[in-house]
Amino acid sequence: MKVILLEDVKTLGKKGQIVDISDGYARNVIIAKKLGLEATPKNLNDLKLKKANEEKVAQEVYEAAQAFAKDLESKQVILTLKTGEGGKTFGSVSSKEISEAVKKQLNLDIDKKKLQLSEPIRNLGVTLVPVRLHPKVTGTLKVWVKEA
């Protein structure tokens, strides 16, 4: 019997895959536990339409991320650090502080986990911070660190 999997099944395959399994296993386990549906022409057509819709939504999300990345490149955030003699800074600017400043200054909600700082910013001036907006899209944000 051909079955369309509704969830990942460890021994059979991934969600959305069409697998050929024995009738008893299909009826008593897969269909009974709502892990799959029988592969009738109606169910196959529904699966095809669902996949097309998911691809369309994924493309829209990707395009929105690209537009947001372009918009983000023209913006900057200003933060302050205390400095001592000779321009030596006390402390650093972390991704959490940058995220909060973006929320206050630009009214944008960027999660601190999306900011890809290899280490906190410890110097004055402009730093370009990569922001992961989508698995395929990375934007850059200008962070201007000034003397307090």
User: What DSSP string describes 77-145?
Assistant: EEEEEEE-GGG-EES-B-HHHHHHHHHHHH-----GGGB--SS-B-SSEEEEEEEEEETTEEEEEEEEE
Tell me what the mean pLDDT of segment 12-31 comes to: 94
Residue matched to tokens 């370009």: 128
Flag whether pLDDT at 87 surpasses 80: no
Flag whether pLDDT at 78 surpasses 90: yes
**Which DSSP category does 16 fall into?**
T
Tell me what the mean pLDDT of segment 101-126 comes to: 92
So what's the pLDDT on residue 132?
A: 95
Flag whether pLDDT at 48 surpasses 90: yes
Cα separation, 50 vs 102, whole angstroms = 37
Reported pTM: 0.72
